[in-house]
């Protein structure tokens, strides 16, 4: 029987610790969000982020913009937040509607305020192993492994999925000094994925393929982390067949309640880090 990694509980610990640090230092930390249009799920995500920021003792600011806004006006809004010393973290909720160019907007977010860790500059810092802000979902996976003391040093980790949002940055984080895993980055062209996963001590599934990681992918005692989210007729399911894998694995994340809450926790951790980096510069 695997240890079930409770992402919601670890999120609450991180929120409490961020709050303690902010109160201890007596600083104001401000997270700004930008939402274009009235997409319902995006509105809910943004509202949750504000609620959690408040719970972590932060101030938050929201810029709501009409879906018909021009590229130039959107860029002006983001540039104003970039220049505002009272704003420490900027999050532009993606995807942007219509023909707005997200890349050009993200280019305006300074790396020290890039709490999503998605800009070219932040990715460059990650690759160069320089201090900076790293994408929240990959960071959340690492924090879960650390919190549950899953051994990583010298262990074999497979990341399934190579996107620049999740899989690729996660593979870089896992290979970093201090984590020291031996990383395999798998994708849809990988041959014998089940065999590759069976050789691994840690499997991280970020492919968005419902329940693709079955018991035959997992060797006894492995840690299995589920990042994938698929909307099916049976509701939201992850990439891992939890019922089949849980009796074999050493650790496993539930879905929901695993990596999802950790993503938002790491957004708050990043916002605090952003404020500290800005104070030191
Ligand atoms: P992408 O669609 O950008 O990338 C999916 C990756 O998985 C690609 O590299 C693709 O390979 C690979 N892949 C697809 N099918 C297979 C397969 N059968 N075998 C092996 N690899 C495969 O998705 P994202 O990286 O943005 O997100 C991944 C999942 O994580 C999604 O379900 C998303 O909803 C979820 N997610 C969850 C979050 C959370 O907080 N829990 C946050 C962010 C995302 P190839 O490159 O060859 O096409």
Residue nearest to ligand 1 atom 16, measured at CA: 188
Q: Are 170 and 191 in contact (CB under 8 A)?
A: no
Residue whose CA lies nearest to ligand 1 atom number 5: 207
Radius of gyration of the chain from Cα atoms?
19
CATH number of 28-109: 3.40.50.10860
Decide whether 28-109 matches 136-260 in CATH topology.
yes
Please classify residue 40 by burial: count the beta carbons closer than 10 Å to its beta carbon, then call 0-12 exposed, 13-18 middle and 19+ buried: exposed
Residue appearing with tokens 């029987």: 1
**Integer Cα distance of 111 and 114 in angstroms:** 5
Contacts of 42 (CB under 8 A, 6+ apart): 35, 93
- Cα separation, 182 vs 52, in Å, equals 34
pLDDT digit string, tens, across residues 203-247? 999 999 999 999 999 999 999 999 999 999 989 999 999 999 999
pLDDT, residue 281, reads: 84
Find out whether the beta carbon of 188 lies less than 6 Å from any atom of ligand 1: yes
> Does the pLDDT of residue 270 top 90, yes or no?
yes
* 182 membership: H or E segment, kind and range: strand 182-186
CA of 77 relative to ligand 1 center, distance in Å: 31
Q: Is the CB of 277 under 6 A from ligand 1?
A: no
Condensed to tens digits (0 to 9), the pLDDT of residues 89-103 reads: 999 999 999 899 999
- Beta-carbon-side half-sphere exposure of residue 54 (alpha carbons within 13 Å): 8
SS3 3: strand
For residue 56, report the distance from its CA to the centre of ligand 1, in Å.
30
CA distance 123 to 112: 12
Question: What is the pLDDT, as a whole number, of residue 57?
Answer: 98
Task: Classify residue 85 as exposed, middle or buried by CB count within 10 Å of its CB (0-12, 13-18, 19+).
Answer: exposed
pLDDT of residue 1: 87
Is the CB of 59 within 6 Å of ligand 1? no
Alpha-carbon gap, residue 4 to 265, rounded angstroms: 18
- pLDDT tens per residue, range 170-209: 999 999 999 999 999 999 999 999 999 999 999 999 999 9
Please state the domain extents for the chain. Answer: 28-109, 136-260
Q: Are 34 and 65 in contact (CB under 8 A)?
A: yes
Contact indicator for 270, 115 with CB cutoff of 8 Å: yes
What atom in ligand 1 is closest to the CA of residue 263?
Answer: 40
Element (H, E) at 50: helix 40-55
Q: Is 235 helix (H, G, I), strand (E, B) or coil?
A: strand
Instruction: Give me the residues paired with residue 59 across strands.
Output: 30
- Which residues are identified as catalytic? 49, 93, 116
Please give the share of the chain, as a percent, with pLDDT higher than 70: 100
Do the beta carbons of residue 200 and residue 157 sit within 8 Å? Answer: yes
What tens digit of pLDDT does each residue of 44-74 get? 999 999 999 999 999 999 999 999 999 999 9
Ligand 1 proximity of 163 Cβ (cutoff 6 Å): yes
Please tell me the pTM assigned to this model.
0.97
Q: Is 210 in the pocket of ligand 1 (CB under 6 A)?
A: no
Q: Are 157 and 201 in contact (CB under 8 A)?
A: yes
CATH number of 136-260: 3.40.50.720
- Residue closest via CA to ligand 1's atom 35 equals 228
165 C-beta closer than 6 A to ligand 1: yes
Dump pLDDT digits (tens) for 11-43. 999 999 999 999 999 999 999 999 999 999 999
Q: How many residues are recorded in the chain?
A: 281
């Amino acid at each position: 029987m695997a240890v079930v990694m409770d992402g919601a509980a670890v999120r609450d610990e991180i929120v409490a610790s961020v709050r303690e640090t902010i109160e201890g230092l007596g600083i104001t930390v401000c997270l700004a969000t930008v939402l274009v249009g009235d997409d319902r799920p995006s509105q809910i995500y943004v509202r949750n982020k504000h609620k959690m920021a408040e719970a972590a003792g932060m101030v938050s600011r929201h810029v709501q913009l009409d879906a018909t806004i021009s590229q130039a006006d959107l860029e002006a809004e983001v540039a104003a937040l970039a220049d505002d010393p009272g704003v420490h973290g900027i999050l532009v909720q993606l995807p942007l509607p219509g023909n707005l160019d997200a890349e050009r907007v993200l280019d305006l977010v300074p790396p020290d305020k890039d709490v999503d860790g998605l800009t070219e500059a932040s990715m460059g810092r990650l690759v160069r192993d320089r201090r900076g802000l790293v994408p929240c979902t990959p960071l959340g996976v690492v924090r879960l492994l650390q919190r549950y003391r899953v051994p990583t040093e010298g262990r074999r980790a497979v990341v399934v999925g190579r996107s620049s949002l999740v899989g690729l940055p996660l593979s870089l984080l896992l290979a970093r000094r201090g984590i020291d895993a031996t990383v395999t980055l798998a994708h849809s062209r990988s041959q014998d994925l089940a065999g590759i996963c069976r050789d691994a001590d840690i499997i991280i599934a970020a492919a968005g393929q419902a329940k693709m990681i079955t018991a035959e992918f997992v060797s006894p005692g492995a840690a299995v982390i589920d990042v994938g989210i698929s909307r099916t007729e049976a509701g939201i399911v992850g990439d891992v067949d939890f019922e089949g894998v849980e009796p074999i694995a050493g650790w496993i994340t539930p879905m929901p309640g695993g990596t999802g809450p950790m993503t938002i926790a790491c957004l708050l951790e990043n916002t605090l880090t952003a404020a500290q980096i800005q104070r030191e510069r």
